Amino acid sequence: EPEVTQTPSHQVTQMGQEVILRCVPISNHLYFYWYRQILGQKVEFLVSFYNNEISEKSEIFDDQFSVERPDGSNFTLKIRSTKLEDSAMYFCASSAIRDPNSPLHFGNGTRLTVT
Amino acid sequence: DAKTTQPPSMDCAEGRAANLPCNHSTISGNEYVYWYRQIHSQGPQYIIHGLKNNETNEMASLIITEDRKSSTLILPHATLRDTAVYYCIVRTGNQFYFGTGTSLTVIP
């Protein structure tokens, strides 16, 4: 069964450094998402992306964050200057179409640890 | 914010049916009810979704009341691997808002 894959599974970085989290969505999907989950807290929406542009973003997704689809398969989340509070699990998701009847499929996440 | 209310935790004996309730009394007519689960810190796993009718797939059944103000996810024969946090989500637009879910523990 097709799945969303994320790399790396665990990323450790120092405060102030830039990180790029990578995702390969399901191949025929058109909508892409990033969510995050701080340890012990809820899964939170960050951003959705379609047709090479951001569709929606939350208040969390400030100027430190950016997303890109650099080629036909990858979808990336960049954090420019990481802060301690950016430590979290980051989940990528994709859906086939922009329809409430179309489920999101999530990857297994990247655990980001900022020291 | 999440538009659903779920009990924080439940236990279920292995091999028995697990019935997970969810209240969504403010749901609108065109909003779908989705269920996901999260095992440990893995990514949320899609289980099932529905609008008005009851739905069944290989993982579970979804029973939605006629007034659509509540629903129940049924795992027909729970196994130890079904121990997870189960999220009931009312889909608003193109986003999912996750609440705190129900932590289901399947007991041997």
- Spell out which residues of chain A touch residue B45, defining contact as CB-CB under 8 Å: 106
Structure-token match 């951003």, residue found = A47
- Spell out which residues of chain B touch residue A55, defining contact as CB-CB under 8 Å: 94
What whole-number distance in Å separates Cα of residue B93 and Cα of residue B95? 6
pLDDT, tens digit, 9 for 90 and up, residues A10-19: 999 999 999 9
Is the predicted pLDDT of residue A107 greater than 70, yes or no? yes
In order of A18, B3, B56, the CA distances from A64 in angstroms are 9, 29, 42
- Spell out which residues of chain B touch residue A104, defining contact as CB-CB under 8 Å: 46, 96
In one letter, which amino acid is A87?
S
What whole-number distance in Å separates Cα of residue B10 and Cα of residue A75? 37
What whole-number distance in Å separates Cα of residue A68 and Cα of residue A76? 5
How far is A109 from chain B, CA to nearest CA, in Å? 6
How far is A28 from chain B, CA to nearest CA, in Å? 18
Checking DSSP bridges between strand A65-68 and strand A10-13, what pairing results, if any?
unpaired
pLDDT for the residue B96:
79
pLDDT for the residue B45:
96
Is the predicted pLDDT of residue A97 greater than 90, yes or no? no
C-beta atoms of A106 and B49 within 8 A: no
Identify the band that residue B2 occupies on the pLDDT scale cut at 50, 70 and 90. low
Interacting residues of B58 by C-beta distance below 8 A, sequence separation 6+: none
pLDDT, tens digit, 9 for 90 and up, residues B60-102: 999 999 999 999 999 999 999 999 999 999 987 777 788 889 9
Is the predicted pLDDT of residue B1 greater than 60, yes or no? no
Identify whether the C-beta of residue A2 lies closer than 8 Å to the C-beta of residue A68. Answer: no
The verdict on B34 touching A (C-beta cutoff 8 Å) is yes
pLDDT for the residue A78:
98
C-beta atoms of A109 and B41 within 8 A: yes
E strands of A1-115, at which residues?
5-7, 10-13, 19-24, 31-37, 43-50, 53-57, 65-68, 75-79, 88-95, 105-106, 110-114
Identify the band that residue B40 occupies on the pLDDT scale cut at 50, 70 and 90. confident
The verdict on B95 touching A (C-beta cutoff 8 Å) is yes
Identify the band that residue A81 occupies on the pLDDT scale cut at 50, 70 and 90. very high
**Residues within 8 A of A (CB atoms), B 56-85 only:** none
Interacting residues of B12 by C-beta distance below 8 A, sequence separation 6+: B18, B75, B78, B82, B104, B105, B106, B107
C-beta atoms of A107 and B31 within 8 A: no
- CA A15 from chain centre, in angstroms, equals 19
pLDDT for the residue A98:
76
Cβ-Cβ pairs closer than 8 A, A with B, add up to 53
Query: What is the chain A residue with the closest CA to B35?
Result: A103
Mean pLDDT of the A46-58 span: 93
- Spell out which residues of chain B touch residue A48, defining contact as CB-CB under 8 Å: 94-95
In order of A35, A82, B46, B80, the CA distances from A60 in angstroms are 10, 13, 24, 36
pLDDT for the residue A70:
86
